[in-house]
Structure formats: C-alpha cells, structure tokens
Structure 1
Amino acid sequence: MSTNRDQAAASPRENRLPGRIYPGWWIVFATASGQLIQGGFVFWSMGLYTATFEDVFGAPRAQINLIETCLTVTTNLLSPVAGILIDRWSIRHLMMIGMTAMGLGLLILSQAGTLFQVWVVWASLIPLGVLLIGAIPSAALISRWFIRRRGLALGLAATGSSLGGFLMPPLMTWMFLEWDWRTGLIVAGCLCFAFLPIFYGLLRNQPADLGLSGEPTAPESLSVDRPDSVAASSASAHHQDWGIPDLLRSRIFWLQMIVSGTLLAVTLGMLANLSLHAKDLGIAGQSTAVLYSVIAVCSFSGKALMGYLMDRLGVQRCGYLICALLSTGLLILLTVQNYTGLLTGAVVMGLGYGGVVPLWTNMPAKAFGAGSVGRALGVMNPLHIPIIATSAPLAGYISDTTGSYNGVFWMYGGCCAVAAIGLTIMGAIMKTPGHH
C-alpha cells in the first residue's frame, strides 16, 4: 500500500530551481553533522574512553570493554524498532530526540562514580543517540529528497563520520589532558545541544514540507542512462509499503544483507587487526597511527567519490569497484610486507572502505523505495551480528594459529568475492519483471 510521501518521492513534477540551492543539500549538511557527532564522540573516541576508564576505575580490561558490548547489543536490539519509527514518524523530531539523548548521555557519563553507572549510560542514552542521528535516519531522509543524485548525497552525508573521526578524538584528548575527563565530557554534551538549532532549522521530513515535489530534474545533457527494467523496478518499489515480514520474504533483502555484512566484516576486521599486523612486521607507535590517519583521509574521499559514481555507474557496478579496491588492498598487504606495502594498502583499502556505507544505505532505497529504508536498514542491522561480530576474533585466531596474517588476507579476499557474487545475483533478480 503506497503512501503520499512515497508517491511524491517517486513521481516528482518538473521542479527546477535556477539560481537556488536545492534544499535537499541542506538536509545532507544536517545529517552529516549528526554523523560527525555520532562518529566523533562515540566510535572514533572509544579507545580514549576505555583507556581513561581503566585509569579511573582500576577495573580489568575485560570489564572496561563491556562498554562497547553494551553499545553494540542495545543498538542492534533497538534497531528494528528505530527503523519502524523512522519510516512512520517525523525524522526531524527523531533526530532532535537522538541528539538530546546523546548530549544527556555524555553529561550523565561525566558524573559516573562507578563502572556500573558507565555501563548503564552506554546501554541506554548513548545507543539511543547513535541510532537516531546516525546512518539509518540519514539514509531514510536523504532517500526522500534525492533520486537522481541519491548516491552522491548519501556519500557526502557519510563523510560526516570520517570528519568526526579526524576532528573529535584530538579535541577530546586535549580536553581530557588539559582539564579532566569529566569536564571534557560536559563540554562534549553541550556541543551536542549546540547542534539542535541546526536540526530544527534545516531538517524537513520531505520536499512537500517546503512546497516542492522532489529533486530538480536533470538537464538532458547530464542525464544518466540506466536499464529500463532496473528503473521500472525501482519506481514500482517506491509505490509499495514494505513491512518487516515482506522484507524478510524478499530474496533481494537477504542478498543485500549478505553483501553489506561481508564488506562490513572486511572493513571492521581489518581496522581491528591492521595495527597487530604492523606490529608483527616490527612497526609500531606513530608509524601505526599514520596508517589509520591515511585510512581515515582516504575513506573520507572514498565516500564522496563512490557516492558520485553510484549515480553514474549504478549501485551494482560501483559495488564491484568497492570489492575490487578492497581485494587489491588485501593483495598488496599480502605480497608487500613492509611499511611501504602497509601505506599503499591503506590508501587503496581506505578508498574501498569509504564506499561500503554509501553502498549499504543506497541498496535498500533502490530496491524497496524511500518509504521503507528505515525498516530495511533497521532489520538488517541485527542480522549482521553473526557476520561482523566473528570477523575480528576469527582473524586473531587465524593469526595466533598460523603465526601470520596471510590466511586472514585470503579470508577477507573470499568475503569480497562473496559480496561480488551477491551483487551479480541481485542484479539478475532485479532485471526480472515482477521480481518483487
């Protein structure tokens, strides 16, 4: 059953805005701001938190690392519910609630007197903030505002997380050292509240809220040729309201879960193990830090580049390119085991890393329509757990038993091959009339 919102997104009138910025780009800016806060204050600063709490509370590392477990378990349990709310309610209001939860979480965390209190915050307010200002609401909202340039818009929004990883950890480290960790968290919480006016002023749930019918049409010289069958299937998907049971019965949904899950397993697993591989080669300290900085910079560029290419080449071809970049980076790490090889592999893999999140968020919009993105991503999140959660530990086990990371590189290369096969099958199904 279709909704008015989906119909407006799927069938925009001729809607040119000469001399004006399309308001959808302000949506991209606002959602990128949310991902900057989410990525910068949570994921990229996780190492700073664990090191600080170990010194403050004197607990074993196994207990300290439970903060990440609390975050992961809660976000994945709440993800399907959040996806339903994102598709059914005002994303603008939800993102404001999420930013408020993030700010309150950091403020309350600054007053924690026991490790148990830290766990409670990381299992409640922080996950709520992560879910409601991160990739899922951003993808759902951008998919309503963009069709022709959706890939570029999703890629640019995703750069917010990379920018947060570049800016926020040094800022947090400086505040923790210059003042103290409690004051640093108070300032971080207040910064979250400072972003609320951006959300209130820039976010709108759909183009109709501003009297628009959708994204401006492309000049004929800039139009992109796409297969008629794929375009038709995408248009029909926009007119269908996909419930969770419908998604779980869809072959395309499961293929998207496998493709995104295997690629996320490669990226997260390599991020966790690259420093250990470098250590095995006798490289540590600042040299290892440079590797991660290179990955962050290339990932930032890769998100925008891959998003742009998705609009030109299509999701399937761009997915192949991402698989090729990751595989090439792994091959370099396998064959050139010195610092030059590490740097070169970091550059190539960083570009591939950048494309994974835009690919993950773009696939459901193409297949199921803008009105079902939240549910599709929300249900997909917990299904990723068996694939992603075992990636880094399995890589460590292979390294421990074989004495090197060569087997790990082959394993992750196999994951890229699985993703490429999944993309091929998915493309064949979507070209079949009436596949939904």
Structure 2
Amino acid sequence: MHWAWLVAATGFIALVGAAGFRAAPSVLIDPLHHEFGWSTSTISAAVSINLILYGLISPFAAALMERLGMRRVVAGALVLVACGSGLTVFMTASWQLLLCWGVLVGVGTGSMALTFVATVTSRWFVKHRGLVSGVLTAAGAAGQLIFLPVIATLATDHGWRSASLTVAFAALAVVPIVLLFLRDRPSDVGTTAYGAALDDVEQVAPASSSGAAKRALQVLRDAARTRTFWLLAGGFAICGASTNGLIGTHFVPAAHDHGMPPTTAAGLLALVGLFDVAGTIASGWLTDKVDARWLLGGYYFLRGASLLLLPQLFAPTTEPPMWAFIVFYGLDWVATVPPTVALCRQHFGLTGPIVFGWVFASHQVGAAIAAFGAGLVRDQLGTYDLAWYLAGGLCALAALMSVRVRKDPSRLTGAS
C-alpha cells in the first residue's frame, strides 16, 4: 500500500474525531437553555465565535503546517478540542460557554479544518486528488453521523455533560493514531506523491523565514488582488451561512418548534450527514472530470431551491416531503468543497492550501453570521421562516458568482 493512503486514512479518522463536538451545538441548545436560562441568541453567540475561529484560524494553521508539519499541528488541535469539550462540564456562567465552546474548540477544530484536506491532497496525491478531497471532506459528515445520535441520546437520558465528556474522550483517542501514521511529506518516508513518476521532483512551497502568521497574511495580500479569490470567498461565505450556520445549528430547535421531538430531529440531521458522505465523494469524483465552476453553480442553485421549500415541510412527524429534503440536502451539504479546493489549486498553485484557508475563513464568517442572525430572528419573530427564505435567495447569488470565475487559471507570481 502506498503511504499516501495511510496518510489519507489517518486524516479521515482525525477529522471524524474532531467533528464530534462540531455536531454538538444543535442538540445542546435546549438543554443549556433549560438548565441555565440562557437565551437562544446567547448560546448562538458561542456557536458564532466557534464558527468564526474555526474559519479564521484555518489559513494560519495551513501556514503553520508548512513550518511544523501536519502531524504536530493536528495532534495539538485534537488535544485542544478535547480540553474545550471537557471543560464545559464545569460551566456556571455564559462567558465560560463562550471561552470553552467558542474559543478553545473553535481554535482546535480550525487548526485541522478543510485546509488540512487541501494540504494532504496537494502534498500526497497527483492522481485522484478530487476523489480524495471528497472522501476527506466527507469525514466531517461521518463524524456528525456517528456522534450526533449518540450526543442527542446522552443529552436526553444522562444530561449534556455526559455528551461533552464523550466527545472529549473520542478526540483524545485519535491522537495516538495521528502520531503513529500521519507523515508530513512523501520524502519523509522515501517515496513520491501517489500518481507521480518516481523521478519527479517533489513540489513544495518555498520556505518562509517570516513565520506562519506573516506567511498566511502575505498569501492573503496576493490572493486578494484577484477577482477569482473574491468570487470564491463570497460564494463560500454563503455556503457556510446555509449549512453550518443555519441548518447545522438551528434545524433541531426549528423542528422542535413545530412539535417534533429533539431526538427525531437530531436523527434527521444525522441522516443529512449520511447522504453527505455519498454526495461529497461523488462530488470529488466529478471534480476530476467536470469543470469545477459549473459544479459549484449547480450545487448552490439546487441548495437555494430546497431551502425556500423547507418552512412548509416542518411537522410533528416526519412526512415524505421532509424525507425528500433530507436526502436531497444531504447530497448537496458540502459537495461544494472538492470543486472549491480544485479551483484554489488551479488558480493559486502551491499556495492553494493557504488560499483555500482564507476562502474557508469566509465560509465560517458566513456561518457565524447566520448562526447568530437566525437565533435573533427566532427570538424576535418567534419563527425561523425568514432565515430560511434569506438563505435560499443568497444561494442563488452564490451560484451566479461561481460560474463567473475565470475558466483559465491566472496563477499568482511565484505560486506555481
């Protein structure tokens, strides 16, 4: 077996381990509200901090991986996730929720977010890059699929603290696997990237003596001068708003507003994760064969149409139209990631993973705005309907932005 597959498998397991607490907010909003009396908008603010840091840390983590290596960064990130999750059991005030749930877990998960996927595929694969991107991206959905029903059941039967501790232990359990099997570059084990010729020179980003933070900011400065960057970043911000920020955070309480039990709603959200695995892997396969710009445009347009219909589908029981939404939305959930990673690599060369980090940061800013905004809409209007309609309209805008990305890459100077 080529070492690239061991690295990819380890990355998948690590991303699954980190995804557990990322799935927790939607099923812990009601338990935290009932125990502490905190408003939905207060709890949503902690989610927003988490989402913002999850994105903003990402490009700096990608630059740090250039200096310290993936293994050290990912192992440290998992420990931080475990600490943030475990410390929540001692909370007595809302600021502690912001610190643990927001800051610690946000920084930890952000340090091994989708830029980790971009780094692995760029360094270790020449052949099947799109497919591997899809599989690794699906790890987050797999983590949601594994953990969300468990977290919901634990929170309902044993309290939210047992759910938080379960996630902490799961994240810690992945650390030894990362230390044993994750390697930074093919040359570390005397091989080449999968699909590369044996005599190919390994392509590496130029060493930077300015530090990870300055390196990440330099890449942002250069990328921000291109129209492609802003089109990708704007579309991905809407992607984050319509997935993690809205559905991922507020689907369960919105369904509960219509009489659906939280455990049933959490099960539906887990099914989104199940179909997301298939949809994202299929998207990765398609990215190797189809123009990524048109894939993105199609994904955003179809997602927007489904969100416009969602308010009419909520009911105390799960009817066939809701099942259809879950299947359709799940297939589209993060199918946008493989073509976005591919476009960053095509247009920005070896700095592609860091550029994708900044694009992903915009994804999380959009998610954070939607998470807090939807909570505010619920508090003020007593319903989430307006949030669904706004998200649907924004997805149509993201589709237009995606197809306007230039077909021919215009790489940055020194990026290739």
Normalised TM-score (structure 2):
0.78
Matched with 2:14 is: 34
**Does the 8 Å CA contact 2:238/2:366 hold for their aligned counterparts?**
yes
User: Does residue 310 of structure 1 match 2:287?
Assistant: yes
User: Does residue 254 of structure 1 match 2:234?
Assistant: no
Coordinate RMSD, CA, aligned: 4.0
Query: How far apart, in 2, do the equivalents of 1:313 and 1:413 lie?
Result: 25
What is the aligned counterpart of 1:367 among 309, 327, 347?
347
Q: What's the secondary structure of 1:295's corresponding residue? A: helix
Structure 2 counterpart of 1:32, one-letter code = F
Alignment map for 1:247-396 (pairs within 5 Å): 247-267=223-243, 268-271=245-248, 284-285=260-261, 288-289=265-266, 291-327=268-304, 329-330=306-307, 339-369=319-349, 371-384=350-363, 387-391=366-370, 393=373
Structure 1 counterpart of 2:333, one-letter code = Y
TM-fit CA distance, 1:114: 4.3
Query: How far apart, in 2, do the equivalents of 1:132 and 1:330 lie?
Result: 30
Q: What's the secondary structure of 2:167's corresponding residue? A: helix
Matched with 1:428 is: 407
- Structure 2 gaps of 5+ residues are 198-202, 209-217
Q: What's the secondary structure of 2:126's corresponding residue? A: coil
**Does the 8 Å CA contact 1:135/1:361 hold for their aligned counterparts?**
no
Inter-CA distance 154–194: structure 2 relative to 1 (3 Å threshold): same
Structure 2 counterpart of 1:254, one-letter code = W
Inter-CA distance 198–256: structure 2 relative to 1 (3 Å threshold): same
Inter-CA distance 206–78: structure 2 relative to 1 (3 Å threshold): same
Inter-CA distance 109–158: structure 2 relative to 1 (3 Å threshold): same
Cα deviations by residue, 1:59-84 (Å, 9 ceiling, x for unpaired): 44444444323323444553443332
Cα deviations by residue, 1:386-406 (Å, 9 ceiling, x for unpaired): 6444446379859988x9959
Inter-CA distance 49–346: structure 2 relative to 1 (3 Å threshold): closer
Alignment map for 1:18-97 (pairs within 5 Å): 21-40=1-20, 42-97=21-76
Query: How far apart, in 2, do the equivalents of 1:160 and 1:329 lie?
Result: 24
Inter-CA distance 36–421: structure 2 relative to 1 (3 Å threshold): same
Structure 2 counterpart of 1:81, one-letter code = F
- Equivalenced residues, count: 396
Q: What's the secondary structure of 1:312's corresponding residue? A: coil
TM-fit CA distance, 1:296: 2.3
TM-fit CA distance, 1:279: 7.4
User: Does residue 105 of structure 1 match 2:84?
Assistant: yes
Which is greater in Rg? 1
Structure 1 counterpart of 2:242, one-letter code = V
**Does the 8 Å CA contact 2:26/2:248 hold for their aligned counterparts?**
no
What is the aligned counterpart of 1:144 among 117, 123, 137?
123
TM-fit CA distance, 1:306: 0.7
- Structure 1 gaps of 5+ residues are 1-20, 219-235
Matched with 1:131 is: 110
Structure 1 counterpart of 2:101, one-letter code = W
Matched with 1:12 is: none
TM-fit CA distance, 1:302: 0.7
Q: What's the secondary structure of 2:336's corresponding residue? A: helix
Matched with 2:184 is: 205
The sequence identity of aligned pairs, in percent, is 19
Alignment map for 1:159-198 (pairs within 5 Å): 159-176=138-155, 181-182=160-161, 184-198=163-177
Q: What's the secondary structure of 1:107's corresponding residue? A: helix
Structure 2 counterpart of 1:357, one-letter code = V
Cα deviations by residue, 1:146-205 (Å, 9 ceiling, x for unpaired): 233111111111222112112213333455566665455444333322211210122111
Inter-CA distance 239–419: structure 2 relative to 1 (3 Å threshold): farther
- Greater Cα offset, 282-291 or 358-367: 282-291
**Does the 8 Å CA contact 1:316/1:424 hold for their aligned counterparts?**
yes
Q: What's the secondary structure of 1:133's corresponding residue? A: coil
Structure 1 counterpart of 2:226, one-letter code = S
Alignment map for 1:398-409 (pairs within 5 Å): 405=385, 408-409=388-389
